[in-house]
Amino acid sequence: MSEEVITRREGAALVVTINRESRRNALNEAVAEGIVAALDRAEADSEVRAVILTGAGGKAFCAGGDLKPNADGTPFTIEAADPRHYVARLLRRMDACRLPLVARVNGHALAGGFGLICACDLVVARDDALLGVTEVKVGLFPMMILPYLMRVLPYRRLMEFCLTGETIRAGDPEAGAIVNYAVPADQLDAKTAWLVGRLVDKSPTGIRLGKQSLAKIREMSTDAALEYAQFMLANMARTEDAREGFAAFAEKRPPAWTGR
């Protein structure tokens, strides 16, 4: 795994850290590949129930693409011989992740970094962290992350972000649609642990199939979504975890999840 992405276990969670503090944890190909590898590792470990994505240091979660001249692995070019952009690969892999993805926003999340938090399932942020897409200030538009911004932001707010390049703080009231919890820096770890603790004691099977279903339903018409949903609900009710959940409820005891 790339040294630009490091991992460590915290209980039932795998913490994935973008380790480019000197470059404000900017995205490059090694970072994208490192996060993808970390997600693969997390899913291969039956004891991991959630993934926490964060950045090194205390200034930036991720400042987006590396804008410095001759930056290594810049996201602003495409290899003609292989046009499959690594940012697209990363975002698709995050979409397909069967585990809950929690963004621990330890500092500013700008441009592609803002896209990363929008691609996560839940977000805990420092209340002074800046959020936004600043690409218009350098003559660009946040193309690669637009699908993820559209999931999270109302259209008018999305356009204001994209057209002005202005930022907001995670603790501002208007960030409520983006951030689940905004806390002072000294409370970030405790709040993240508290949120993750509410996830890892739930059914791994229910979460896995639920996330898979949500990804598909998002792209369907209402009629198709309802037909798919009833099929998935019936199948989920036959899993070992669902049977255990029903039994534990009836017997008034904590469930013992098998993940099957």
Mark whether 144 and 102 lie in a shared domain: yes
Mark whether 219 and 159 lie in a shared domain: no
Mark whether 146 and 213 lie in a shared domain: no
Q: Residue 2 corresponds to which tokens in the numbers above? A: 């790339």
Name the percent of the chain lying above pLDDT 90: 90
Mark whether 215 and 91 lie in a shared domain: no
Mark whether 9 and 44 lie in a shared domain: yes
CATH of the domain at 190: 3.90.226.10
Tell the residue number behind the tokens 């850290």, with chain if given.
17
Looking at every residue in the chain, the average pLDDT score rounds to 93
256 lies in some domain: no
Q: Mind listing the pLDDT tens digit for each residue in 126-173?
A: 999 999 999 999 999 999 999 999 999 999 999 999 999 999 999 999
Predicted TM-score (pTM) of the model is 0.92
- Pairing between β-strand 168-169 and β-strand 122-126 as defined by DSSP bridges: unpaired
Mark whether 217 and 184 lie in a shared domain: no
Which structural domain, as residue segments, surrounds residue 212? 204-251
Q: How many domains does the chain have?
A: 2
| Closest alpha carbon to 99 in 205, 189, 192 | 205
pLDDT classification of 183: cutoffs 50, 70, 90: very high
Q: What is the DSSP string of 153-180?
A: S-HHHHHHHHHH---EETTSGGGGGT-S
Section 3-10 average pLDDT? 96
Mark whether 15 and 143 lie in a shared domain: yes
Among candidate residues 79, 135, 160, 240, the one labeled active-site is 135
Last residue of a domain, one of 197, 215, 237: 197
Catalytic residue check, 29: no
pLDDT classification of 83: cutoffs 50, 70, 90: low
pLDDT at position 186: 97
Q: Mind listing the pLDDT tens digit for each residue in 19-68?
A: 999 999 999 999 999 999 999 999 999 999 999 999 999 999 999 987 76
258 lies in some domain: no
At residue 24, what are phi and psi to the nearest 5 degrees?
55, 35
Mark whether 51 and 115 lie in a shared domain: yes
pLDDT at position 78: 60
